[in-house]
Amino acid sequence: MIDGTLAFLQETADEPLANYHDTHRALHVESAVSYLDDELTVQRGQVAGRVPKEEEIVGMDGHEIEVERETRKRTVASDWIADVQDGGWVVSERTHTPPKNDEHLEVDWPFTEFVKRTGFGIDPVGFSPAEFVRQQRDAGRDYTIEMASREYNMDDVSIEWGKGALKKDGVKSNVGVALTTHWRDMFVRLVVYGSGYFAIWEPEGMTVEEFARFVDEEIVPVAYVLEDEESEEETDQDTLERERVEA
């Protein structure tokens, strides 16, 4: 399985990512390969750093229980795949709240590390699961829906699973959708969430070149930069109204 959260660079980098090591942080480039008929380059590797973690400290004072919360730092690591030069995107397997001195970068760790390594800002993104399904439909692909979830009336959520999940549910999904679709002579089984997270379950042997091409052709077109909370609410409402019309 290949999974992670997608983010966009605000500008593409002139140079590929390079190995970097410092106290309590590191970026390791494991490989770099060409994709899209050798036109673009995708890299993969690991990143490590320290992030805050809130812990509960429980003590006893006589018969009274005292609970305090303390923020400590812990070292974490994540795999990543990125095309920073041409595609301008990064997929990180894990994300965490950034350390306090990186909060001004306005993205989660490890995207904060990619900001520092490229010199460009990074925007968190969301997906339109419904648009992803429509994309498969409009391309005339053979696809089946396994799960479709949508939020409506601002508070209610519906989830259809298995045989109860139909294509008509997929084109209305705004929370998440799981499906199998036929793409470039292979069946790809995956889940896409509006939060910007996606996971490819099958094929198990998908290469990094195939993954990068799938991201470029299928994931990036349904991704959008997340705005502030007020703008997001307006966008969500506009999306719901548009989906009712298009469906």
Asked whether the beta carbons of 66 and 59 are under 8 A apart, the reply is yes
Q: Which pLDDT does position 156 carry in this prediction?
A: 81
Whether residue 114 sits in one domain with residue 145? no
Averaged pLDDT, groups of 10, the chain, 247 residues long: 95 96 94 89 97 87 84 94 96 95 94 97 96 96 95 82 89 94 97 97 95 97 80 48 47
Long-range contacts: 231-239, Cβ < 8 Å, 24+? 236/151, 236/174, 239/128, 239/130, 239/174
Whether residue 218 sits in one domain with residue 163? yes
Asked whether the beta carbons of 17 and 52 are under 8 A apart, the reply is no
Whether residue 117 sits in one domain with residue 80? yes
Whether residue 117 sits in one domain with residue 15? yes
Q: Which pLDDT does position 228 carry in this prediction?
A: 58
- In whole angstroms, what is the distance from residue 48 CA to residue 79 CA? 9
Asked whether the beta carbons of 181 and 188 are under 8 A apart, the reply is yes
Which residues span the domain enclosing 133? 128-246
Whether residue 157 sits in one domain with residue 82? no
Whether residue 99 sits in one domain with residue 176? no
The answer to whether position 204 is within a domain reads yes
Q: Which pLDDT does position 238 carry in this prediction?
A: 52
Q: Which pLDDT does position 232 carry in this prediction?
A: 46
Q: Which pLDDT does position 218 carry in this prediction?
A: 97
Whether residue 81 sits in one domain with residue 27? yes
- In whole angstroms, what is the distance from residue 127 CA to residue 67 CA? 39
Neighbours of 209 (CB within 10 A): 15
Whether residue 139 sits in one domain with residue 119? no
Q: Which pLDDT does position 148 carry in this prediction?
A: 94
Q: Which pLDDT does position 84 carry in this prediction?
A: 97
